[in-house]
Chains A and B, each alone.
Chain A
Amino acid sequence: MMSAAITTRPPTAPVPHAPAAGGTRRRSRLRTRLELALLLTPALVLFTGFVLVPIGVAVVYSLYSWNGFGPLTDFVGLQNYVDAFSGDVFQGAIGHNLLIATLSIIVQLPLSIGLALLLNRKLRGRTFLRMVVFAPYVLSEAVTAVIWLLMLQPGGFVDEILRGVGLGGFVRLWLADPSIVLYTLFVVITWKYIGFGVILLLAGLQGVPPELREAAALDGASAWQTTRHVVIPLLGPTIRIWIFLSVIGSLQLFDLVWIMTLGGPANASTTMATYLVDHGFKRYEFGFGSAVAVILFIICFVFALLYQRFALRRDTQGALTGVR
Chain B
Amino acid sequence: MARRNSVGYLAAIAVIGVTVVPLLFVVLGGFRTTAQINSSPAGLPGPFVWDNYAEIASSPQFWRLLGNSALIAVIATTLAVVLGAMAAFALSRYAFRGREGFYTLFTLGLLFPLGVATLPLYLWLRQLGLLENPLGVAIPEAAFSLPVTIVILRPFMHAIPGELEDAALLDGAAKLGFFWRILLPLSRPALITVSVLAFITSWNFYLLPLLVFNDSTNFTLPLGVAMFQSEHTQDTAKVLAFTALSMIPALTFFVLAERRMVGGLTGSVKG
A147 touches B25 (CB 8 A): yes
**Is A7 engaged at the interface, CB distance under 8 Å to the other chain?**
yes
Cβ-neighbour of B269 out of A142, A200, A281 (below 8 A):
A200
**A71 in the interface, Cβ–Cβ < 8 Å?**
no
A214, CB-defined interface residue at 8 Å: no
Contact A141 B206, beta carbon cutoff 8 Å = yes
B195 to chain A, nearest CB (A): 15
Closest chain-A Cβ to B256's Cβ sits at a distance in Å of 11
Q: Which of B22, B89, B122, B250 contacts A191 (CB 8 A)?
A: B22
B95 interfacial contact with A, CB 8 Å? yes
- Cβ of A8 within 8 Å of any chain B Cβ, yes or no, is yes
Contact with A along B95-127 (1 / 0, CB 8 A): 110011011111101111101111111111000
A289–B117 CA distance with the chains assembled, in angstroms: 11
A277 within 8 A of B: yes
| Contact residues in A for B105 (Cβ distance below 8 Å) | 47
Pick from A36-44, A75-83, A100-108, A172-180 the stretch touching chain B.
A36-44
Cβ contact within 8 Å between B113 and A245? no
Shortest Cβ distance from residue B21 to the other chain A in the assembled complex, whole angstroms: 9
Contact B100 A138 (CB under 8 A): no
Residues A5 and B110 in contact, CB atoms below 8 Å apart: yes
From DSSP, what is the main secondary structure of chain A's interface residues?
Answer: helix
Given contacts A191-B22, A286-B123, contact A129 B148 (CB under 8 A): no
- Contact of A47 with B109 in the complex, beta carbons under 8 Å: yes
List A contacts of B107 (CB < 8 A): 5
Contact count band on B: 35 or more
Residues of B within 8 A of A131 (CB): 254-255, 258
Cα of A61 to Cα of B119 in the assembled complex, Å: 11
The answer to whether B207 and A50 have CB atoms under 8 Å apart is: no
B175 at the interface (CB under 8 A from A): yes
Report A-chain residues with C-beta under 8 Å of the C-beta of B251: 135, 138-139
Nearest CB on B from A53, distance (A): 7
Q: Which of B248-262 contact A (CB under 8 A)?
A: 250-251, 253-255, 258, 261-262
* Neighbour of A8 across the interface among B9, B113, B197, B271, CB < 8 A: B271
Q: Given A50-B140, A123-B8, A133-B19: A143 and B266 within 8 A (CB)?
A: no
Q: Are B15 and A129 in contact (CB under 8 A)?
A: yes
A205 and B18 CA atoms in complex are apart in Å by: 23
Q: Which residues of A contact B197 (CB under 8 A)?
A: 1
Structural contact, B162 and A46, CB atoms closer than 8 A: no
Residue of B nearest to A316 (CB): B271
Given the complex, which residues of B lie within 8 Å of A47, measured CB to CB?
A: 105-106, 109, 143, 146-147
Alpha-carbon distance between A122 and B5 when the two chains are bound, in angstroms = 8
A206 vs chain B, min Cβ distance (A): 9
CA distance A252 to B162 in the complex (A): 42
For B23-61 the 0/1 string (1 means CB < 8 A from A) is 101100100000000001110000000000000000000
Q: Mark B142-184, 1 if CB is under 8 A from A, else 0.
A: 1110111011101100110010011001000001100000000
Across the interface, do B247 and A160 meet the contact criterion of CB distance under 8 Å?
A: no
* Residue A259 interfacial (CB < 8 Å): yes
* Beta-carbon contact of B115 and A141 below 8 Å: no
- The 8 Å CB contact of B117, one of A141, A146, A293, is A293
Q: B-side binding surface: helix, strand, loop or mixed?
A: helix
Other-chain residue from A16, A39, A150 in contact with B239 (beta carbon distance below 8 A): A150
Which residues of B lie under 8 Å from residue A15 when comparing CB positions? Answer: 95, 162
Output the nearest chain B residue to A299 by Cβ-Cβ distance.
B116
Question: In the bound complex, do residue A1 and residue B265 qualify as a contact, i.e. CB atoms below 8 Å apart?
Answer: yes
Q: Could you say which residues of chain B place their CB within 8 Å of the CB of A199? A: 262, 265-266
Considering only CB atoms, which chain B residue lies closest to A276 in the complex?
B119
Residue numbers in A under 8 Å from B26 (CB-CB): 147, 150
Question: In the complex, are the beta carbons of A14 and B158 less than 8 A apart?
Answer: yes
Judge whether A110 is part of the interface by a CB distance below 8 angstroms. no
Question: Are B119's CB and A147's CB within 8 A?
Answer: no
Establish whether residues B25 and A157, one from each chain, have CB atoms under 8 Å apart when the complex forms.
Answer: yes
Q: Does B92 contact A (CB under 8 A)?
A: yes
Bound Cα distance A308, B143 (Å): 24
Distance in angstroms between the alpha carbons of A142 and B162 in the assembled complex: 46
17 A-B pairs (CB sep. < 8 Å): A1-B269, A4-B268, A7-B270, A40-B91, A44-B87, A46-B139, A119-B12, A130-B262, A135-B251, A142-B222, A142-B223, A148-B22, A254-B115, A255-B222, A277-B207, A286-B119, A293-B116
Q: Which residues of B contact A (CB under 8 A)?
A: 4-5, 7-9, 11-12, 15-16, 18-20, 22-23, 25-26, 29, 40-42, 79, 83-84, 86-87, 89-96, 99-100, 102-107, 109-113, 115-124, 139-140, 142-144, 146-148, 150-152, 154-155, 158-159, 162, 165-166, 169, 175-176, 197, 200, 203-207, 211, 221-223, 225-226, 229, 236, 239-240, 243, 246-247, 250-251, 253-255, 258, 261-262, 265-266, 268-271
- Which 5 pairs across A and B sit closest by C-beta, in order of nearness? A5-B107, A58-B120, A142-B222, A8-B271, A140-B204
A: residues with CB less than 8 A from B are 1-8, 10-11, 13-17, 32, 35-36, 38-40, 42-44, 46-47, 49-51, 53-55, 57-58, 61, 68, 114-115, 118-119, 121-123, 125, 129-136, 138-143, 145-151, 153, 155-157, 159-161, 164, 191, 195-196, 199-200, 203-204, 223, 237-238, 241, 245, 248, 252, 254-255, 258-259, 273, 276-277, 280-281, 286, 289-290, 292-293, 296-297, 300-301, 304, 324
- Known: A61-B123, A204-B270, A292-B119; 8 extra A-B contacts, CB below 8 A, are A11-B159, A55-B120, A114-B11, A119-B15, A143-B222, A200-B269, A238-B269, A280-B119
